[in-house]
Amino acid sequence: ERQEARPYNRQRLLVVANRLPVSAVRRGEDSWSLEISAGGLVSALLGVKEFEARWIGWAGVNVPDEVGQKALSKALAEKRCIPVFLDEEIVHQYYNGYCNNILWPLFHYLGLPQEDRLATTRSFQSQFAAYKKANQMFADVVNEHYEEGDVVWCHDYHLMFLPKCLKEYNSKMKVGWFLHTPFPSSEIHRTLPSRSELLRSVLAADLVGFHTYDYARHFVSACTRILGLEGTPEGVEDQGRLTRVAAFPIGIDSERFIRALEVPEVIQHMKELKERFAGRKVMLGVDRLDMIKGIPQKILAFEKFLEENANWRDKVVLLQIAVPTRTDVPEYQKLTSQVHEIVGRINGRFGTLTAVPIHHLDRSLDFYALCALYAVTDVALVTSLRDGMNLVSYEFVACQEAKKGVLILSEVMIPTLHLSAAQSLGAGAILVNPWNITEVASSIEQALNMPPEEREKRHRHNFHHVKTHTAQEWAETFVSELNDTVIEAQLRISK
């Protein structure tokens, strides 16, 4: 509703991401119901006042018939969304294959899929071909809807080929690309068979953004080492044309979380949770059920803590909320069973007739339930093995003004530990190496025993950081910097 209230003559921003921010359910031959799924990106752009955003992306459903496609496009138009229709084969090869089975693990330092290495190598070419084809389909839709003066913002590893496709259509188009995952060390990137083509495609953009300075540096190193181009403090230069490369750390719409805590439904949820876990400290994990989130390692660390601290066994509970994701990929199915097995074993070992130490839920929570949970938590455990940024840590802090709980945070999001901790959540959190289960276990003990003055001090730092590094500011900074890149500098587009 905030968007409706704004003046009309704002610059148009075409946001291109693999998925549209809506879930679409088919109700009949030509009828669809839609629900906006408010992720970080949606809230970020809703908060930006200068732009009128349009979304371009895949709706997450296969719509083979023209009647259905027309009806869906019409319904989506009301939400300012424009669909890209991908058939099942493309989705399988591009999305499940190249994006999720190759780029995702590689960018998070998990290497190429272990069990399937040879099969992956064999299917690599066809998956990369599908990836390029899908990116071209996105480009076709962008090009069809582009108007002069629009800014095009491409998102994430799914669309690394898009900037090049767009510039081939129109070299004057202002194109930015932002990566939500880490960009790995150039030593990792160079193992990718399509390494050069991907780098060159991304370099076709005017502005390339990452969450941290280190990811930006890795990208520039990959361009210098693999492509032999020149890295400058501004970005990467190729025969007189500069692609600006910079860090734009994302944040959250903190006010949305703070306001939610005053909603009666949230207050009611909080009351119920407090009653349910009275007399016990609440520890919380909220993650997509993905190997990068380090859920098994986190739970094993909690087990170690219980092992070593018998006095805490009936005084603490770990709530692990893990929303299933990419459920048709075998490695994710295996992870689910692994987590269930570990949780079952620990609950069998330390549970009593009336209470278990771990509540594990395989599902998504609605926004109000999530806020209530964040607010009643004493210690949050965000222990990703690798993560682009991680918004859960921000959301937890935003909901902790009353409680001033402790954040245990994986140090992988704080790349240059001794330098950047003060400009991140690093200074307020207890930083841990998520692979070191003994260290995580002792940080749990430290967090549970932390004196109130120290909790207050750490929370003050974190809360200030979350309030001043918002999603809106992130989006505004990126787009205004993109606007500033000089179009005339785009002399050559490498083909």
Residues of the shown chain interacting with ligand ADQ in the complex, contacts defined by CB under 6 A? 40, 180-181, 250, 286-288, 321, 323, 364-365, 370, 387-392, 395
Tell me which residue of 86, 102, 101 sits closest to 194, measured CA to CA.
102
CA atoms within 13 A on the CB side of 112: 16
Q: What is the residue-wise DSSP string for 309-339? A: -GGGTTTEEEEEEEE--STTSHHHHHHHHHH
Q: How far is the CB of 173 from ligand ADQ (least distance, A)?
A: 24
Q: How far is the CB of 121 from ligand ADQ (least distance, A)?
A: 26
Residue 68's alpha-carbon distances to 24, 61, 62, 73, in angstroms, are 12, 11, 10, 9
Between 162 and 286, CB nearer to ligand ADQ: 286
CA pair distance 495, 493, nearest whole angstrom: 6
Between 287 and 476, CB nearer to ligand ADQ: 287
Q: How far is the CB of 353 from ligand ADQ (least distance, A)?
A: 28
Nearest-CB residue for ligand ADQ: 388
Q: How far is the CB of 323 from ligand ADQ (least distance, A)?
A: 4
Between 222 and 391, CB nearer to ligand ADQ: 391
Between 398 and 406, CB nearer to ligand ADQ: 398
Q: How far is the CB of 324 from ligand ADQ (least distance, A)?
A: 9
CA pair distance 224, 447, nearest whole angstrom: 43
Q: Is 380 helix (H, G, I), strand (E, B) or coil?
A: strand
Between 357 and 388, CB nearer to ligand ADQ: 388
Q: How far is the CB of 384 from ligand ADQ (least distance, A)?
A: 7
As a whole number of Å, the end-to-end CA separation of the chain is: 43
Q: How far is the CB of 288 from ligand ADQ (least distance, A)?
A: 5
Between 316 and 399, CB nearer to ligand ADQ: 399
Q: In what order do the strands lie in the sheet with 230-232?
A: 81-83, 51-58, 11-19, 151-155, 174-178, 207-210, 241-247, 235-238, 230-232
Between 329 and 365, CB nearer to ligand ADQ: 365
CA pair distance 59, 76, nearest whole angstrom: 9
Q: Is 155 helix (H, G, I), strand (E, B) or coil?
A: strand
